[in-house]
Amino acid sequence: MSAALNAPLNAPGAEAPASEAELAGAVRDAFAARESLAVQGLGGRAASLRPVRAARPLSTRALTGITLYRPQELVLSARAGTTLPEIEAALAGHRQMIAAEPPDLAALFGVATPPTLGGLVAAGLSGPRRIGVGGALRDQVLGVRAVTGDGEVIRSGGRVHKNVTGLDLCKLLSGSHGTLAVLSEITLKLVPRPEASLTLALPVADVAAGVAALSAGLGSPYGVSGAALLPAGGEGFSGPTALLRLEDFFQFLGRRGDALRGVLAPWGEAARLEGADSLWCAVAEARPLAAAPEEAVWRLSLRPGRAAAAVAALRAAFPAKLLLDWGGGLVWVAGPASIAVHGAVMAAARAAGGTFTLFRAPDSLRMAVPVLPPEPAPLAAIGARVKAALDPAGLLNPGRMG
């Protein structure tokens, strides 16, 4: 097998089928020849997880277009290669949005390409609104069409909001990083875009105080839809700052903002920020993390109450740059791209009872360490059989997740 490590996607010859039938044909051909495939959208996030060693790239970039949009039913279907900006533009016309607030991480990955819908769902990426109930991108995936590793088209879910028919492969394929099937079309649940938003900024002493304040806000009845903790210096704030966002009808926000400031009062006086949309965009894109190009970036998912201890452990091990979102439940970490530092991140995640993802790093580190927490042996065995059920010859994105 000729291993093209991270074969550049837009390289001449990169296969980009323009229909699902062609996509299935391409995968069937690869299956017949037992040739592995590096499955990508526009290829902008290939520097995540483990580098794929595959015979050739296969791109969904030519599978584009919104195939169904029913604003009054809050559903949209689009082919996997459709870009996020294109979908957002269509939704804006009806004042609707994807509740998960999926982030465009082009800057983090140092690329200019926008994310594709297939890439976002395959990576399972959600932004600040993840903290709300049903706020994960996978929660918005009502249906998928996908091509299995032996070239068969399968569907799961559908285009209706409530569906428990059969095993939920929408969830299984969301976040599977193209290792189980190639997503060809995705149907999303939408929500109305709130009329207005209000952000409170609360200077806090440290991570423990910041997370406690965010928890108090999230435990209030005022509908907090974003709860992040910026590091000192992040987005122009001099010290560590807790940000809380309220979104609803304009008329509601005045009172709720006052009430929420009251809830936060034990930690200090929160300032009201107007027009903070770009601030939340920065949080979604992890810009306040200020990760240098040569640094590695991790995401830790843990109980908010364990965040402060995890942060202390990280800081004790290396000069960690940090950004917290999801009320402290998501810790973005940037630091030196070394095996030792990675070990410290793994240990901190384990000690906190949470998980980690080596989200961005030079190939050398991504080749050398576990990019995700290893699964216990019985689960890994089940996982291997599930993989075989969908990708019997193990041709899709080999190595990507482990």
Partner 1 sequence: MIELPRPDPAVLARRAPILAALAAIVPDSPRGAGVIGDPVRLRAYETDGLSAYRQPPLAVVLPETTAQVAALLRYCHREGIRIIPRGAGTSLSGGALPLEDGIVIGLMRMNRILEVDYADRLAVVQAGVTNLAITQAVAGEGFFYAPDPSSQLACMIGGNVMMNSGGAHCLKYGVTANNLLGVTFVTIEGEVLQLGGGHLDAAGYDWLGLVTGSEGQLGIVTEVTVRILRAAEGARAMLAAYPSNEVAGQVVDAIIASGIIPVALEFMDRPAIHACEAFAQAGYPLDAEALLIIEVEGNAEEQDILLDKLKDICGRFAPISLRVAETAEQSLAIWKGRKGAFGAVGRISPDYLCMDGTIPTGELPRVLRRMQEMSDAYGLKVANIFHAGDGNLHPLIMFDANDPESFRKAEAFGADILKLCVEVGGCLTGEHGVGVEKRDLMPVQFTAEELARQRAIKSAFDPQWLLNPAKVFPLAGNPVLERVA
Q: Which of residues 369-398 bind partner 1 (CB under 8 A)?
A: 372-373, 375-376, 378-379, 382-383, 385-386, 388-390
CB-wise, 234 or 329, nearer to partner 1?
329
Query: What are the tokens at 128?
Result: 């600040």
Binding residue (CB under 8 A) for partner 1 from 28, 56, 159, 272:
159
CB within 8 A of 13, min separation 6: which ones? none
Q: Measure the CA–CA gap between 226 and 212, rounded to whole angstroms.
A: 15
Find the length of the chain: 402
Binding residue (CB under 8 A) for partner 1 from 2, 112, 167, 293:
167
CB within 8 A of 80, min separation 6: which ones? 41, 60, 63, 116, 117, 118, 119, 121, 182, 183, 184, 185, 186
| CB of residue 359 to partner 1, shortest distance in Å | 10
Residues 293 to 312 in contact with partner 1, rule: CB under 8 A? 299, 301-306
Binding to partner 1 by CB under 8 A, coded x per residue (else -) over 261-300, reads --------------------------------------x-
Residue 350 lies near partner 1 (rule: CB under 8 A): no
Residue 12 lies near partner 1 (rule: CB under 8 A): no
Binding to partner 1 by CB under 8 A, coded x per residue (else -) over 14-53, reads ----------------------------------------
Residue 227 lies near partner 1 (rule: CB under 8 A): no
Find the part of the chain contacting partner 1 (CB under 8 A) among 59-67, 84-92, 174-182, 311-319: 174-182
CB-wise, 226 or 329, nearer to partner 1?
329
Which helix (DSSP H) or strand (DSSP E) does residue 170 occupy?
helix 169-173
Residue 87 lies near partner 1 (rule: CB under 8 A): no
Q: Are strands 37-40 and 56-59 parallel, antiparallel or unpaired?
A: parallel
| CB of residue 91 to partner 1, shortest distance in Å | 13
| CB of residue 373 to partner 1, shortest distance in Å | 6
C-alpha distances in Å from residue 81, one per residue of 23, 59, 119, 277, 398: 12, 8, 8, 26, 21
Q: Measure the CA–CA gap between 67 and 50, rounded to whole angstroms.
A: 33
Q: Is there a contact between 199 and 276 (Cβ–Cβ < 8 Å)?
A: yes
Find the part of the chain contacting partner 1 (CB under 8 A) among 7-15, 16-24, 109-117, 153-161: 153-161
Rg (CA), the chain: 21
* DSSP states along 276-344: THHHHHHHHTTGGG---TTSEEEEEE--GGGHHHHHHHHHHHS--EEEEEGGGTEEEEEE---HHHHHH
| CB of residue 170 to partner 1, shortest distance in Å | 8
CB-wise, 243 or 358, nearer to partner 1?
358
∠ at Cα 190 (186, 193), nearest 5°? 145
CB-wise, 42 or 302, nearer to partner 1?
302
Q: Is there a contact between 77 and 36 (Cβ–Cβ < 8 Å)?
A: no
CB-wise, 42 or 207, nearer to partner 1?
207
Residues 102 to 131 in contact with partner 1, rule: CB under 8 A? 124, 126, 130-131
Binding residue (CB under 8 A) for partner 1 from 22, 86, 88, 168:
168
Residue 343 lies near partner 1 (rule: CB under 8 A): no
Q: Is there a contact between 181 and 147 (Cβ–Cβ < 8 Å)?
A: yes
| CB of residue 265 to partner 1, shortest distance in Å | 17
Binding residue (CB under 8 A) for partner 1 from 11, 34, 70, 363:
70
Q: Is there a contact between 346 and 329 (Cβ–Cβ < 8 Å)?
A: no
Find the part of the chain contacting partner 1 (CB under 8 A) among 3-11, 231-239, 316-324, 350-358: 350-358
Residue 258 lies near partner 1 (rule: CB under 8 A): no
Q: Measure the CA–CA gap between 366 and 220, rounded to whole angstroms.
A: 41
Residue 357 lies near partner 1 (rule: CB under 8 A): yes
Task: State the number of binding residues for partner 1 (CB under 8 A).
Answer: 88
∠ at Cα 227 (221, 232), nearest 5°? 140
Residues 175 to 194 in contact with partner 1, rule: CB under 8 A? 175-176, 180, 191-194
| CB of residue 250 to partner 1, shortest distance in Å | 10
